[in-house]
Structure 1
Amino acid sequence: MLRYLETRVDPVAAPPGEGPPAGLIAFFWYFISQAKWLFAALFVVGIAAALVETAIPYFIGRLVAILTSTPREELFATAWPTFATMLGVVLVARPAILFVQRAISNHGISGPLNTLTRWQSHHHVIRQSLGFFQNDFAGRIANHVMQAGGGVRETALATMRSVLHILFYGVAATGLMLAQDWRLALPILVWVVLYVTLLTAMVPKLRDRSREASAKRSAVTGKVVDGYTNIQTVKLFARTADEDRYIRDAMLEMNTAFLAQHRVNTLFTVLLNLLNAALLAAVGTLAVVQWQAGRVEIGAVAMVLPLTIQLISMSGWVAAEIQGIFENVGVVQESMGSIARPITMRDAPQARPLAVTGGGITFDRVTFGYGRKDRPVIDALSLTIRPGEKVGLVGRSGAGKSTLVNLMLRFHDVEEGAIRIDGQDVREVTQESLRQAVSVVTQDTSLLHRSIRDNILYGRPDASEAELEAAARQAHADSFIPGLRDIAGRTGYDAHVGERGVKLSGGQRQRIAIARVILKDAPILVLDEATAALDSEVEAAIQESLGDLMEGKTVLAIAHRLSTLKIMDRLVVIDGGRIVEEGSHDALIARRGLYAQLWARQSGGFLADLTEAAE
């Protein structure tokens, strides 16, 4: 039975629709609806559980009534059917119902729904644009994805097991009291009104405080992860004390938010205890008065007191559950800020895979300014790169070189104009096919915290071991890979590289990245200072490999070093988002324009070599 329940919800099912909606109720229903039949079963079993719990005080009252009205010698002869029914409910029905309730809750819903919510939230978030991740802490986003699962699960289950439970229990208890004497039900009816009023007054405050506390906790997590991720910078600048103050202030804000939340919780608990004490006193007094007046039997008194005590006990439990519900609602609302956002960079409705026939690239009057039309980073830029041509982009920092590449990769959409590859507008092809057709090597290479093998195979997961090793040799990474060993004792290609590849040197990371690109073998290649992290000896060693890698490909290189620029077919100089010069190195030097100025200001490195070449 347990195994059957555990397989009713696929925890990694494909998300329905276009992603979690922004409305709170709609957000919950998006996930809960995928397990709706289990929740329906839990609802029915919950009603049965509430009625069984109500039966226990009723049995106590009936037992007292039978014992006080039946002669001892006739007790079992006349009352055995009642006793058998009581034993059947207590020994069989109640344990069975509670077992089924727990089985559905824990095995059918709790684990699978938690995982499902996290998986589908991640599935949606990872498809967000690059800017989405650049505008937030990675740790904060991850925290939102992880905590959303528990928040949705606990809110749904707590509502089913507590609010509905006390509702049906209260209705049944009131009905039993009304059956004895209508006056006995009056205190409970008044209590229900006051209880609902108290919840109505306090729950919104609990919700707001919980949401604020959750936001502060996520902020602390994001800041702590940011510090850990950049721990080398913290230590290089000896800023540990500053980091302490930065995190300390955030933690104090979080502590203040949690204390504010607990103050509301404490007030709510005190008021509820006073209300419950008044209920017990009223019901007990009224029951004794009614018995003394002869309006009810002693069995009724024996029934209403346990009913009231159980109701009071449940009210405290339900109050705690409701506090938990709204804590989790606050957590979910805060998580929705990252999860329930529409994806801004979607494929066009009729998008087709990019068909690369030659690799020609056209920038047609492209304008882009990150939303600021008065200050465009790229300003009406037009550039045609022929299939197989190797073009170097040169310019000052901030001239728009990397932005141009990001627009081509459709990390952002152009604001005016168009970018085409082999005549196909990049906005009209699928993003996956576009990026599969382009290989990129950047200066600041980031590796996944996985094995060397996994990182290289990221270029082409179906590559054979021989192809993997050939790519590593071509990138001159085979010289250091055999000597790698991680903290878990894994060696060589199985050694893990640490977060962002921190266990490797800059040059080693770059060679792994080049091996990955060699394995990918895409028809268009982008080099963004691809050899800047390599020492001269290693750089010289892989120049031939880069030459082989660029063979037959369209190449767009952002570079300043002769090792890359000297093999380019054409240099394009960008300034202020516009093309100001283009041509060969010698022609640009002869023009004595911006390129010549940049060259003259450089000292050492490739510019010194360029001087010799010009002379």
Structure 2
Amino acid sequence: MPSETVLPKSKTMLNKIFSWFESRIDPYPEAAPKTPEKGLWRFVWSSMAGVRKWIAALAALTAGIGIMEALIFQFMGKIVEWLGKYAPAELFAEKGWELAAMAAMMVFSVVWAFAASNVRLQTLQGVFPMRLRWNFHRLMLNQSLGFYQDEFAGRVSAKVMQTALALRDAVMTVADMVVYVSVYFITSGVILASLDSWLLLPFIGWIVGFASVMRLLIPKLGQTAAWQADARSLMTGRITDAYSNIATVKLFSHGAREAAYAKQSMEEFMVTVRAQMRLATLLHSCSFIVNTSLTLSTAALGIWLWHNGQVGVGAVATATAMALRVNGLSQYIMWESARLFENIGTVGDGMATLSKPHTILDKPQALPLNVPQGAIKFEHVDFSYEAGKPLLNGFNLTIRPGEKVGLIGRSGAGQIHHRQPAFALLRTAKRHGFDRRAGHKRRHPRIFTRPNRFGHARYLAAAPFRARQHYLRPPRRDRCRNGFRRRTRRSR
């Protein structure tokens, strides 16, 4: 459903406001993305290009909400104090302007919170991760063929998708939760100190206890999240790989074997899930103990100070209300902190893949090819997998338009790799004068690149089957399909 139809036509002003915030960030920038820098914080910072000012705006708006929310508890304490001090006829005469100022701040806080929600939800929540996906996807498309020969396609796609969401959540948690909590506690501390410095003691004790619990358990949750992200990528990669190579699976494997192969990765994933849930239970139980201690100690200390005449009823009400608010806020802090470390672990896992530099690049100021005829010319091409073991050394060959060339040799002799440099699929030490508009035919690659026979001795022992791969049959017999018993779909 289009966003314009979510609200009725009578709400066009709201639609215009939403549209304005939604259009602040371009989710599909045309500029070529730069490879993110290595290192967690440098990776996050470079990925935030184009949205940093809106992250800062969210942090500023959230800080304002934290200040106003802390002031509300101060207002509550003052009102309780005034109700016990003034008669009904005297209250508005003595404190009317202050009550009006409180009401004005409450109304202003609604407008402020609406602006913060628009920045958080309309500007960042959906657009920021889509911008990351778009940039990460283009980075992966520009990787070399060798990069994908070392990775599962499903694993790469999983890292693109989950890293974008994890990075969004981590950045917004810092700009939203961390800023809000920090400003709220600072403002609350100033208010409590103005009432009586002794009222700060329970909150200081809570901060020490809660920080100790977080320091002990949250990093372990983050490490577990990193293991879980890697296990999830492996599981997704194996499942996606089976679907992507379904023809090969049907020919050389069967459902039970593929299910067992995927189940192994699922079991590894469940190990990380159980470890994560155990830590979450410990975190919840310990935080509940600390929160209960805060509420009891604040109420007891407030009553003791009131009994000694050091504070009034309003101060006790303010301190107790703040303790109850912190009690509820701690659950938010706890789980958001756990999610923050979990997302940091996921981002760190995805960074290893997404920050890999491109190995095949155009030369600076390279011009598009403009070749009127589809000829291929190799001039002094050098290529090797390892230094000192060249596969191509000063290779020269000219293929004129209309000519057909066949490369014949034993399996593994490098027939495919003689062709791939011409199409920029492999990086060469020297390469000159290629026209990429040449056509080619080759054997079906999937049966040779995918580990379908992993763990199955009866395939590994099929020496006669492998030996016949080196036998070149006459084209006539091949057209009669006198090939191997296990055939593949080949180009004709």
Query: Taking structure 2 as the reference length, what is the TM-score of the superposition?
Result: 0.83
* 1:87 maps to 2:103: yes
Aligned AA (1:54): A
Paired position in structure 1 for 2:163 = 148
* 1:43 maps to 2:59: yes
Determine which of 398, 404, 419 is the counterpart of 1:385: 398
Pairing of 1:434-583 with structure 2 (within 5 A): 435=436, 437-444=437-444
Paired residue total: 440
Preserved contact between residue 361 and residue 419 of structure 1 (Cα < 8 Å): no
Deviations 1:439-494 (A, max 9, x none): 44445499xxxxxxxxxxxxxxxxxxxxxxxxxxxxxxxxxxxxxxxxxxxxxxxx
Report the alpha carbon displacement of residue 242 of structure 1 after superposing the two structures with TM.
1.5
Report the alpha carbon displacement of residue 404 of structure 1 after superposing the two structures with TM.
0.6
Paired position in structure 1 for 2:490 = none
Distance 1:106 1:331 in 2: 22
Determine which of 15, 29, 50 is the counterpart of 1:13: 29
Paired position in structure 1 for 2:178 = 163
Determine which of 235, 240, 247 is the counterpart of 1:220: 235
Report the alpha carbon displacement of residue 284 of structure 1 after superposing the two structures with TM.
1.3
Pairing of 1:417-428 with structure 2 (within 5 A): 418-421=430-433
Paired position in structure 2 for 1:26 = 42
Preserved contact between residue 33 and residue 135 of structure 2 (Cα < 8 Å): no
Deviations 1:347-390 (A, max 9, x none): 1224333343665544355443423644x4x3436333154361
Report the alpha carbon displacement of residue 10 of structure 1 after superposing the two structures with TM.
0.6
The residue matched to 2:97 in structure 1 has which SS? helix
Determine which of 204, 210, 213 is the counterpart of 1:195: 210
Distance 1:349 1:370 in 2: 25
The residue matched to 1:384 in structure 2 has which SS? strand
Greater fraction helix? 2
Aligned AA (1:20): P
Preserved contact between residue 359 and residue 427 of structure 2 (Cα < 8 Å): no
Residues 291/390 of structure 1: CA separation in 2 closer, same or farther (3 Å cut): same
Pairing of 1:248-397 with structure 2 (within 5 A): 248-356=263-371, 361-364=376-379, 366-371=381-386, 373-374=388-389, 376=390, 378-380=391-393, 382-385=395-398, 387-388=400-401, 390-396=403-409, 397=411
Report the alpha carbon displacement of residue 420 of structure 1 after superposing the two structures with TM.
2.7
Paired position in structure 2 for 1:605 = 477
Distance 1:29 1:392 in 2: 51
Preserved contact between residue 217 and residue 254 of structure 1 (Cα < 8 Å): yes
The residue matched to 2:385 in structure 1 has which SS? coil
Preserved contact between residue 359 and residue 386 of structure 1 (Cα < 8 Å): no
Paired position in structure 1 for 2:413 = 399
Greater Rg by CA: 1
Determine which of 148, 168, 171 is the counterpart of 1:133: 148
Distance 2:53 2:422 in 1: 47
Paired position in structure 1 for 2:259 = 244
Report the alpha carbon displacement of residue 142 of structure 1 after superposing the two structures with TM.
1.0
Aligned AA (1:401): Q
Paired position in structure 1 for 2:111 = 96
Report the alpha carbon displacement of residue 130 of structure 1 after superposing the two structures with TM.
0.8
Preserved contact between residue 140 and residue 222 of structure 1 (Cα < 8 Å): yes
Paired position in structure 2 for 1:486 = none
Distance 1:185 1:32 in 2: 38
Preserved contact between residue 125 and residue 338 of structure 1 (Cα < 8 Å): no
Residues 60/371 of structure 1: CA separation in 2 closer, same or farther (3 Å cut): same
Aligned AA (1:165): Y
Residues 16/203 of structure 1: CA separation in 2 closer, same or farther (3 Å cut): farther
Q: Which has the higher contact order (CA 8 A, sep 6+)?
A: 2
Preserved contact between residue 284 and residue 305 of structure 1 (Cα < 8 Å): yes
Residues 310/12 of structure 1: CA separation in 2 closer, same or farther (3 Å cut): same
Preserved contact between residue 31 and residue 113 of structure 1 (Cα < 8 Å): no
* 1:69 maps to 2:82: no
Distance 2:305 2:150 in 1: 69
Preserved contact between residue 145 and residue 425 of structure 2 (Cα < 8 Å): yes
Residues 391/236 of structure 1: CA separation in 2 closer, same or farther (3 Å cut): closer
Preserved contact between residue 22 and residue 340 of structure 1 (Cα < 8 Å): yes
Distance 2:369 2:102 in 1: 73
Report the alpha carbon displacement of residue 89 of structure 1 after superposing the two structures with TM.
2.9
Aligned AA (1:225): T
Distance 2:56 2:479 in 1: 74
Greater fraction strand? 1
Determine which of 426, 434, 448 is the counterpart of 1:412: 426
Aligned AA (2:395): S
Residues 258/445 of structure 1: CA separation in 2 closer, same or farther (3 Å cut): closer
Aligned AA (1:61): G
| Structure 1 residue runs without a partner (length 5+) | 427-433, 447-596, 609-615
Distance 1:266 1:190 in 2: 23
Deviations 1:74-119 (A, max 9, x none): 22332322332333333x1222222111111000111111110000
Runs of 4+ in structure 1 deviating by more than 6 angstroms, as ranges, are none
Distance 1:235 1:155 in 2: 42
Aligned AA (2:416): S
Preserved contact between residue 375 and residue 438 of structure 2 (Cα < 8 Å): no
The residue matched to 1:370 in structure 2 has which SS? strand
Query: Taking structure 1 as the reference length, what is the TM-score of the superposition?
Result: 0.67
| Structure 2 residue runs without a partner (length 5+) | 1-16, 447-469, 481-492
| Structure 1, 1-10 or 385-394: larger mean CA deviation | 385-394
Distance 1:408 1:16 in 2: 25
Deviations 1:174-231 (A, max 9, x none): 1111001111112212322333333333332121110101111111111111112233
